[in-house]
Structure 1
Amino acid sequence: MISKISMGILATLVFGGTPAVAQDNTQGEFGDPTFQEELTSKVIGNEQDQIITLVIENDSLGAAGTDKNYTSGVRLGYLDVNADLPEIAYTLDRVVPTFGINETSSVFYSLGQNIYTPQNISQTSQDPDDRPWAAHMYGSIGLVTVTDNHMDEIEASLGIVGPSALGEQAQKFVHTHITTDSPTPHGWSNQLNHEPTLSLGWQRRFPNYWQVNGGGLSLGASPYYGATLGNAHTFADAGMTFRLSPERDTWQDEPVRVRPALPGTGYFDRPEDGWSWYLFAGLEGRAVARNIFLDGNTFSNSHSVDKKYFVADANAGLALTYEQYRFSYTMVYRTKEFEGQDDPGVFGALSFGVGF
């Protein structure tokens, strides 16, 4: 059902649909260059131009509450809106035809760790029909810029898969000291071998595709599409995010997420009235060519399963902002990722951001 709904929406809205824009109370039709102009004035005049965000994704935060499949993701990010861009930004500007530097261009950095386990973590041996044990630790640098009616994001990531990613230590620490009723994981001796990872992701979003204001509220829809290339993940994606917020806060961005989901910048303004809120929901489809956490190691023999080549996510959540702080919760439903997977993935994401 999710696949049919998401593909129908994406085909209509992302690849050539006509936006249903109200005539009297929208900020502008799709393609209106005032989007870049308005955001430029906000970026230049914003005293809160740096944001630190911590996001935690875990199956214990979802409806299932079990350790299996994608069990944990942690990402610490730093966004500098009015930064002096590093030299790599100008290199990307020259070699990437879809990216251009202007007054909205910003840089973000992140550190993260993801953990993946089979369904039975108490089992010492590897279940031949279940996914591999795996962990991924990485660092990344990204650039975001607004041009005309769209926002481009580029992210380069360098990391490591295998014992050095410290998945075993992280999961056992959490189960011993935080979720003490969880079983002890015994299968980490079967995890993927050491392998460095390198990836480059590109995303184009249309934040002002459709928007209608009325009664002090703003309702909008933002399609996006992109691709990621690397030995950890290689996929093409497309999706749509819907939002509802006070009209005065229309420039809030989606809360930060962990890849392969759309990460977002986590940008938000300090509310004029001291506090604000932001409701959001979305659908995303990914055509997957490679997933090291299912396909196994690239350069050595390891356990693997037959992955599914199309995966869809549905998500919904709420963000609350008070002064320079923002807290958000997102519930995510992910369709089955490999043949023989018992249940779809259900997990939650908590994020906390502070601007200064």
Structure 2
Amino acid sequence: MKVTLLLSGILSGLISGGFVFGSSPLLAQDADPSTDSDATFQEQLTGRVANKKEDQYISLVIENDSLGTAGTDKNYTSGVRLGYLDVNADLPDIAYTLDRVIPTFGINETSSVFYALGQNIYTPRNIRQREQDQNDRPWAAHLYGSIGLVTVTDNHLDEIEASLGVVGPAALGEQAQKFVHTHVTPSSPTPHGWSNQLNHEPAFSLGWQRRFPEYWSVDMAGLSLGASPYYGATLGNVHTFADVGINFRLTPEQDVWQDAPVRVKPGLPGTGYFDTPDDGWSWYLFAGLEGRAVARNIFLDGNTFSDSHSVDKHHFVADINGGLAMTYDRYRVSYTMVYRTKEFEGQDDPAVFGAVSFGVRF
């Protein structure tokens, strides 16, 4: 138990800094972007790189069904991700190993590294029931730590993330949910079915994503409207899927160097990066759409190396989201509403949940 709690603490420090801000480390600089319309996105970012005092980021993301609906405690119940990023840190040796393993990724002067820690919880629709409903999803939790890299090349941005963790009782899903229901939302029912959760299993995944941040944009009336398409793939015994999507954003023209808030995997991408606003405060309105072709989802398919409960999953899942981020000085807070289509046969309703994120640069 002590080892598991230690892992949980380490993972917490890893989460948001990495993937939350990982895709735009260069954006963390205060210099103005290049005004050369012919300059590539990489050249604009490279021109902003400098040794600044505020070059580190910490972020926390909380996703929960109670933030999007009345709080039904079914399907995707909760996700928490904490992270740290230092844009001027030297890359660790594992970064160059990942660079060699991923042929589509290359380290250059824009490359940055991030670390993250997270926990996801999944439950059937009736958490008061002690027996496993054979027509509903398994009880499951996932505790993980991640390391990732992001690089801008020409006009696209590549992100890779390697994740290692555990599924099963050691993921502390039962303890986390009961603690919240007892001390945070005491009116919530006590979950009784955790004895049915997935068995212990090491969890690993390797993901790659390519985005085009400046694919389309237009400035008018002091505002900047833009669209950023992306595609990628994730392989592992937890998730194996290919994804494609697009993000839209609307922001003040002078504060265009912002990115969508960070989300918990396998959610829509967003680095969570933000510049310190010139006027002290700023805002960022965003929306996105993603489709995933799913080959494996351990939280529906059940354990990989042992027998466990499972359900018939849908091989195509879509997410739609929208929200608002507000920035004041070095601090940022955001809210995202997410609609996720049904993930398995017998699921009564699509999932609707909210995500709140907090970020600070220092």
Asked whether the equivalents of residues 80 and 264 of structure 2 are also in contact (C-alpha less than 8 Å), the reply is: yes
Structure 1 spans left out of the alignment, 5+ residues: 1-26
User: Relative to structure 2, which stretch is displaced further, 143-152 or 35-44?
Assistant: 35-44
Q: What residue in structure 1 maps to residue 259 of structure 2?
A: 253
Asked whether the equivalents of residues 48 and 269 of structure 1 are also in contact (C-alpha less than 8 Å), the reply is: no
Structure 2 spans left out of the alignment, 5+ residues: 1-34
Q: 1:69 aligns with which of 67, 75, 78?
A: 75
Alpha-carbon distance in structure 2 between the residues aligned to 1:264 and 1:274:
23
Q: 2:339 aligns with which of 312, 316, 333?
A: 333
Amino acid across the alignment from 1:258: V
Shift of 1:140: 0.2
Amino acid across the alignment from 2:184: I
**DSSP-derived class of the 1:43 partner:** coil
Q: What residue in structure 2 maps to residue 207 of structure 1?
A: 213
Q: What residue in structure 2 maps to residue 243 of structure 1?
A: 249
Q: What residue in structure 1 maps to residue 357 of structure 2?
A: 351
**DSSP-derived class of the 1:42 partner:** coil
Q: Deviations over 1:322-350 (max 9, x none)?
A: 01000000000000000000000000000
Q: What residue in structure 1 maps to residue 195 of structure 2?
A: 189
Alpha-carbon distance in structure 1 between the residues aligned to 2:292 and 2:164:
22
Q: What residue in structure 1 maps to residue 98 of structure 2?
A: 92
Q: 1:146 aligns with which of 152, 155, 180?
A: 152
Shift of 1:264: 2.6
Q: What residue in structure 1 maps to residue 176 of structure 2?
A: 170
Q: 1:83 aligns with which of 80, 89, 113?
A: 89
Amino acid across the alignment from 2:68: G
Alpha-carbon distance in structure 2 between the residues aligned to 1:33 and 1:336:
43
Amino acid across the alignment from 2:117: L
Amino acid across the alignment from 2:140: A
2:223 corresponds to 1:217:
yes
Alpha-carbon distance in structure 2 between the residues aligned to 1:308 and 1:94:
34
Asked whether the equivalents of residues 198 and 308 of structure 2 are also in contact (C-alpha less than 8 Å), the reply is: yes
Alpha-carbon distance in structure 2 between the residues aligned to 1:319 and 1:217:
15
Percent identity between the two aligned chains: 81
**DSSP-derived class of the 1:44 partner:** coil
Amino acid across the alignment from 1:313: D
Alpha-carbon distance in structure 1 between the residues aligned to 2:96 and 2:221:
43
Shift of 1:94: 2.7
Q: Deviations over 1:141-194 (max 9, x none)?
A: 000010000000000000100000000000000000111111000000000000
Q: Deviations over 1:240-262 (max 9, x none)?
A: 00000011121211111000113
Aligned length: 328
TM-score (norm 1): 0.90
Aligned alpha-carbon RMSD (Å):
1.3
Shift of 1:266: 1.4
Alpha-carbon distance in structure 2 between the residues aligned to 1:234 and 1:117:
21
Q: What residue in structure 2 maps to residue 302 of structure 1?
A: 308
Shift of 1:45: 5.6
Q: What residue in structure 1 maps to residue 296 of structure 2?
A: 290
Alpha-carbon distance in structure 1 between the residues aligned to 2:266 and 2:248:
19
Q: Deviations over 1:35-61 (max 9, x none)?
A: 111111223365422110000000000
Alpha-carbon distance in structure 1 between the residues aligned to 2:183 and 2:240:
35
2:134 corresponds to 1:128:
yes
Alpha-carbon distance in structure 1 between the residues aligned to 2:94 and 2:294:
28
Shift of 1:314: 0.2
Taking structure 1 as reference, are residues 28 and 189 closer, same or farther at Cα in structure 2, changes over 3 Å only? farther
Q: 2:328 aligns with which of 319, 322, 330?
A: 322
TM-score (norm 2): 0.88
Q: What residue in structure 1 maps to residue 233 of structure 2?
A: 227
User: Relative to structure 2, which stretch is displaced further, 295-304 or 87-96?
Assistant: 87-96
Taking structure 1 as reference, are residues 331 and 346 closer, same or farther at Cα in structure 2, changes over 3 Å only? same
Q: Deviations over 1:251-294 (max 9, x none)?
A: 21111100011343211111111110000000000000000000
**DSSP-derived class of the 1:301 partner:** coil
Alpha-carbon distance in structure 2 between the residues aligned to 1:80 and 1:269:
15
